[in-house]
Amino acid sequence: MSPTTAVHVRDLHKRYGPKRAVDGLELSVEHGEIFSVLGPNGAGKTTTVEILEGYRHRDRGEVSVLGTDPQRGDRRWRSRLGIVLQSADDQAELTVAELVRHFATFYPEPRDPEELVAAVGLTEKAGTRVRQLSGGQRRRLDVALGIVGRPELLFLDEPTTGFDPEARRSFWDLLRSLRDEGTTILLTTHYLDEAEQLADRCAVVRDGRVVALDTPAALGGRAARQVMVRWVEDGAARSTTTAEPTALVTALTARLGPGEIPGLEVLRPTLEDVYLSLIGKASDHHLEEVPA
């Protein structure tokens, strides 16, 4: 394992009775990157992350997190991790500020609680009891509690569920600032735009295995995939796929004359298109090709 590797997983297996939740999964996460794990429900994402966090034992396989086997991780090792679960329901009678200050006492060099409450957009709710928060506000508080200890490695499981668009983008800025400070982030999300905006690399998990791992731009051969070009000619809609869209548009310009090409669209595969093909589902964005 490279010294630059924060998380190393090799041939990971976990069964629940006859069900293979994780079936030979392999991945590595480098220090200082945002790494996103994508996959449908039941693919094995949550089980894998729980094994990495030390909350669940594996059946077999090789796992190292910050240089330690999670099954042997001690209190000092755990203090180097930040964990934001899908949901939490605790300390309902404390206020937001009280709970963040309380969690800050668990760590040797915590973030400033007041600054942290502001960073997750809860300044106006600092004096509100946790039980009175909306779902999205509680999610922001969960994130604050996960990062108050300045973790070296932060696990985020669907962190922006319940966020409005403005809050999501503010949170993305926060994660980028954490990465810039050197925090390694492992993120599971169902929001593909979130993965595309944040992740340095993505892994797509299906049936307990990683079926693709690359940058968002190159995942599943996305960068090399054919481009769909659509236009209108002689009153009829036309389309074709090509690896050389610029050359095709140049040819259309020569054929149709100067000026704008009617109805011209150049459509490259989206991350959603690639993701759906990798998990075995058809994309709603599929376009029927009409010969040029």
**Residue 107: how many CA atoms within 13 Å on its side-chain side?**
24
* Residue owning tokens 């009175």: 132
DSSP string, 239-269: EEEES-HHHHHHHHHHHH-SSPPTT-EEEPP
Strands 265-267 and 227-233: antiparallel
Positive/negative CA dihedral, 270, 274, 279, 282: positive
pLDDT of residue 291: 45
The pTM (predicted TM-score) of the whole model is 0.80
pLDDT in tens, 116-175: 998 888 999 999 999 999 877 888 888 889 899 999 999 998 888 777 788 788 888 888
Burial of residue 275, with CB atoms counted within 10 A of its CB: 0-12 exposed, 13-18 middle, 19 or more buried: buried
196-200, 226-230, 282-286: which is most confident: 196-200
Domains and CATH numbers, the chain: 5-217 (3.40.50.300), 221-278 (no CATH)
With a cut of 90, say whether residue 251 has pLDDT above it: yes
